Amino acid sequence: MNQPWDPDFTLDHSAVTALARRCGLQGSPVPLGAGWDYATFVCGDMVIRIPKRRATAKLLTDELELLLGLPDNLPLLAPRPRNELFAVDEIPYPAMVYPLLDGVQLCALPHALRVDATLIGLQLGGFLRSLHALPSGVAPRPFSFDEWTMFAQGHLGTIGEYGDHRLTNTLRHLLEQPLPVLDSLQVFCHMDLNDEHILIDTQSSQATAVIDWGDAGAGPWWFDFTGLWLWGDSAALDAALSAYGLSLSTNEIAWFRRHALIVSIGALYCELRIDPESETTRTWRARLGRSMHAAGR
């Protein structure tokens, strides 16, 4: 069965090696990670980020321009790519190349390493305050969850296969509940700021960088806080909001909870397709349960 992470072309080691040589890199590329949209490899001290499908390949040029335009004084680092995309005949889509950033993904820290959710929240709140002050580059438009809701509804059947029909029915009911008027300030957001995209220094247990900027654009200011809550619960969120200098209104809380629910559904769907018994799947089951409880209040 095809997995949700599968690319729409054959990506083998020889092709990635050819791409590395095209970029002037020596040594053998080593897989670093992969999501629905990109596969990343480390070659020496450089990262090669390869689009896995046509839809995301079209966005990489915009992401390159965005990253090259980010200021150097953000509180956390962002990838600093070379100022062109690189292509070889063996891979249908041009790739981005940038220096490897120090740190381990927050979602992949060793069990023995304990991080302080409050400290991470304070760091992310300060980072988001600086990020959200940047011009968005596009005119804000009324925000809609219609597409996000349809995305989540489309995955309920798979989640039901690994749970029970009561769970699916409850999720469908929650997704159908009306939301209040959204009057949030729209700012330049990362738009996918979860624990997979935050790097942590294993010596200091502090955040060092934010990666994967392919979805960045205009959105409600609270949008970038949802992943932090899913990871670190109220301790991380409260600290982040304190450092940011804003609090959620009653209306925004309803939208925030709906967003957390949708993110949890999407993540659990993908993890179930990969390995229903993995630790990551269990983590997202727990997060979905917490999101359901919050959304049902």
Q: Would you say 252 and 143 are in contact if contact means Cβ atoms under 8 Å apart?
A: no
Residues of the chain with CATH 3.90.1200.10: 105-295
Q: What is the pLDDT of residue 36?
A: 82
C-alpha distances out from residue 88 to 20, 49, 218, Å: 10, 13, 33
Give the global pTM. 0.93
Residue 247 token pair: 């609090």
Q: List pLDDT tens digits, range 22-38.
A: 999 999 999 998 888 89
Q: What is the pLDDT of residue 142?
A: 59
Domain 13-100 is of which CATH architecture?
2-Layer Sandwich (3.30)
- With a cut of 60, say whether residue 140 has pLDDT above it: no
Q: What's the mean per-residue pLDDT of the chain?
A: 92
* pLDDT band for position 3 (cuts 50, 70, 90): low
The number of angstroms, rounded, from the C-alpha of 138 to the middle of its chain's C-alpha atoms is 21
Mean pLDDT throughout 68-93? 95
Mean pLDDT throughout 155-171? 88
Mean pLDDT throughout 250-258? 96
Mean pLDDT throughout 51-71? 92
Cα atoms in the 13 Å half-sphere on the side-chain side of 281 = 13
Q: List pLDDT tens digits, range 175-207.
A: 999 999 888 999 999 999 999 999 999 999 999
| Cα–Cα nearest to 92, from 68, 64, 120, 60 | 60
* pLDDT band for position 273 (cuts 50, 70, 90): confident
Q: List pLDDT tens digits, range 86-133.
A: 999 999 999 999 999 999 999 999 887 889 999 999 999 999 999 999
| Cα–Cα nearest to 47, from 81, 85, 12, 13 | 81
d(CA 179, CA 249): 13
- Classify domain 105-295 at the CATH superfamily level: Aminoglycoside phosphotransferase (APH), C-terminal lobe (3.90.1200.10)
Candidate from 59-68, 141-150, 165-174, 199-208 with smallest mean pLDDT: 141-150
- With a cut of 70, say whether residue 135 has pLDDT above it: yes
- With a cut of 60, say whether residue 138 has pLDDT above it: no
Residues of the chain with CATH 3.30.200.20: 13-100
Mean pLDDT throughout 229-252? 97
